[in-house]
Amino acid sequence: MQPEYVSLFERAYEACEQSYAPYSHFRVGAALLCDDGSVITGVNVENRSFGLTICAERNAIAAAISAGKRRFKALAVATPDATYPVSPCGACRQVISEFMPSSGAVVFGNAKDSYVVSTVGELMPHDALHDLSSCLVREEQEHSS
């Protein structure tokens, strides 16, 4: 794994300590690498109504957007309570594909030595609208610069 992804995964793993998972006891941390080199983290925040739970991946992306970030290179997701690397859920994949290029790296794992390195395109193959949404994000970025 590339050194920048190792440190990104470590940040995701550390973020798990802030997870709020009193129901499932399944902590998730995410670390989002922005194009400017900054890293924004997020954690899962459970709710007793599970449908209202916020995933770590979406939490990190929302925090980055709130901070004015719009371009992302890579995302790491850590699930230390799992027995195997757990990939982002379908809702998170959809949100990730909205804000990252299909070539963007997605690293997920349950331990610092047990992980998978993938891309947005591999997690969302056949995403017909990805090119369109990427163009819209780029267009918005160009107009805001």
- Active centre residues (catalytic): 57
Cα-Cα end-to-end distance for the chain = 33
Bridge partners of 54?
45
- For residue 28, the number of C-alpha atoms closer than 13 Å in the C-beta half-sphere is 25
Whether 107 and 77 have beta carbons less than 8 Å apart is answered as yes
